[in-house]
A and B are shown apart, each in its own frame.
Chain A
Amino acid sequence: MTWLLNILEPLLFIAAAPLFAGWIKWLKCLAQNRKPPMPWQPYRDLAKLFRKETLVAEQASWIFYTAPYIIFSVAVLAATVVPFVSVDMPTAEIADVIVLVGFFALARFFQALAGMDIGTAFGGMGSSREMTIASFAEPAFLMAVFTLAVSASTTNLSAAIEYHLAHPHLIHPSYVFAALALMLVAIAESGRIPVDNPATHLELTMIHEAMILEYSGRYLALIEWAAQIRLMIYGVLLANVFCPWGIAQDTGLSELAVGVVAIAVKLAILNMVLVASETVLAKMRLFRVAQYLGFAYFLGTLGMLIHIVVEVGT
């Protein structure tokens, strides 16, 4: 039963990811007084891309052909690590959060290679930028996660969530810092506004779009879908780890229904926060990203320090 659930849950996750991305776009358009595309527009886009002919540059090597499949399958694997609707997923218990970071790094590695493979200027530029940002974002991510790991004494996400549900009245000041740090990293890593603008293909500013400029057809569809899954993984991670209430601890149907509703509500709230910040903020200069992510790293460190100073021994 748990294994069946474990197969169904990532499938639901993958299926819901485009809806989540479309929902953000829909809400953002409404917030900015524009006429929004329907939230399920990304499904139509993906379907269109899958139908279209796939054109590849003559110089492309095997890396270019295989990268989309690797990126997509790694994104799917990463989705199985994060507890989505119910907490006791066997795959989530096998792999911990460091594996999750490793999955992200693997996908990023192949994406950067594929960006450089064709040899156009934009691809190389995008890859170089992506790796620069990643090298700052990864330590910050790990630091935020370590703060969690130290207070729950595990790096396993399921175990950490269960620990929280078992100790509901512990206030963790360190979590506030860890959550903020993770939020900053999530924005940077999923290419949202102060770091990258997902809506444009402007030459000088794009990061993620620059790497996938040469892709078309089903390859592009896979990469886009993987990016949507990654965005949703960050959302679910923030929602479920820092505010685990409502997640199903059983495999009962009513519990699962509650779990689905709970995660939808949490993602909706997170969505509004994201849309508000994207509407208010402007994209920052590339060279300020290091400072921004340095701040995220620092918040993670501060969370760890606060945990050691204030929480240990009380």
Chain B
Amino acid sequence: MDRPLVSFLLPSRTQPGKAHTPATLLNSLESITANSTNTNVYEVLIRFDEDDIQSIDLIPRIHEIFAPTVAEVKIIVGPRRGYEGLHHYYNELAAIATGELLFLWNDDLEICPVRSPWTTPNGGHHLEAWDATLKEDLGDRGPYIFMLFPTEVYSDHISMLSFPILTRRAYEAMGHFSHSPLNDAYLLNVGCLDLDGENIRKRSRLIVRHNVEVDEVGVKWREEDHHFPLALQIHRTAEMTALELKDQEAIRAIYESGE
């Protein structure tokens, strides 16, 4: 059986009265179902903390959202690892993922619809399906591409920084998703590798909208408490840099072996 196209890896924790609410999470998940062809199998792997009752209560609703789709949904409830342990959530989810692509997802992220032209002369517009776009981008990548980054619409700018999509080849070469709680920065650092003069990352045409309002409140909240400084401290160590270099070498070795 073919692998699912992509595994969405989504650790989520609600912050009552702050920003990351159940509604934020459900909007995010609904954007995935709303803009899919529903023909390419994909996985949604979600991780809740066992003390986060508000999120756990959403489980039936989440299954309901994906019931009519081709998606496989797995929800894990486990111990809280905190922001400084964010990479543990992603590694845990990646270990059970079977997709060809492993997509770092956040609950304040939504697939952004792209209006496409008509398919018969003078016909109507339709919305592009993210899975068709991602599948095409996966097929179009050169042999040196090990990670894709979606086109991220954030406030008034566009970037390709925060939501890495690892290829299975990269994940298996590295043996993990990330060693750092700043998962995006870690993978961007690994992604600085060039092979045969070509960078190993590429921007995908898949467009995601990062909810600024939620993100800014979340960032502010994290900065105010001790979790974010701790994560930053973990990330900015010589040991972490060594691990990034080791991952780059693992990717280089796979590339040079031609596997």
Does A pair with B? no
